[in-house]
């Protein structure tokens, strides 16, 4: 509350205490203090001293990069899911993170990796994604 003179403070304080009591609230006397504009104080983030009101500047926020972005679902699979042709066989459970060394070992022992490498050939160019509608 703001008053022009210290003499106006007591009636204003009683008015605030009464209004808060009607709402079932009370002022925290440890956080409430009486001061003047000549002394420095902070109110709702603004620093006030005498005639000066200093507002905090907005900090420049740097955009955060995503930690993980899942690959896009192939459009044919998405259409089948939306049409109800594909159903989940169990509820999704988020796997716990795998340490990098274990991830590399899993990749090396994955049977699909060897098959794909064989299909791709030595240069990797024999295996290509088809574009356009399926010819089957």
β-strands 52-54, 46-49: how paired?
antiparallel
Closest by CA position to 42, among listed 27, 30, 58, 54: 54
Tens digit of each residue's pLDDT (9 = 90 or more) over 34-54? 888 788 888 787 888 888 888
User: How many Å from the N-terminal Cα to the C-terminal Cα in the chain?
Assistant: 79
pLDDT of residue 37: 78
CA atoms within 13 A on the CB side of 95: 4
pLDDT tens figures, 43-85? 787 888 888 888 877 777 788 887 888 888 888 988 998 898 8
Q: For residue 120, is pLDDT > 70? A: no
**pTM confidence score:** 0.35
For residue 98, what pLDDT is reported?
A: 80
Number of other CB atoms surrounding residue 48 within 10 Å? 16
What pLDDT shows up at residue 117?
Answer: 66
The Cα–Cα gap between 28 and 25 comes to 10
> What does the block give as tokens for 83?
């049409």
Residue 21 pLDDT > 60, yes or no? yes
């Amino acid at each position: 509350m703001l008053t022009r003179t210290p003499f106006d403070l007591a009636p204003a304080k009683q008015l605030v205490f009464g209004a808060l009591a009607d709402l079932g609230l009370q002022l925290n006397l440890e956080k409430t203090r009486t001061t003047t504009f000549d002394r420095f104080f902070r109110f709702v983030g603004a620093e006030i001293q005498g005639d000066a009101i200093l507002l905090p500047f907005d900090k420049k926020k740097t955009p955060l990069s995503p930690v993980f972005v899942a690959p896009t679902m192939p459009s044919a699979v998405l259409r089948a899911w939306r049409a109800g042709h594909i159903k989940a066989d169990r509820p999704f459970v988020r796997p716990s993170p795998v340490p990098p060394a274990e991830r590399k070992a899993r990749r090396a022992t994955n049977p699909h990796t060897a098959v794909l490498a064989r299909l791709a050939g030595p240069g990797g160019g024999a295996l290509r994604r088809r574009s356009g509608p399926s010819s089957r």
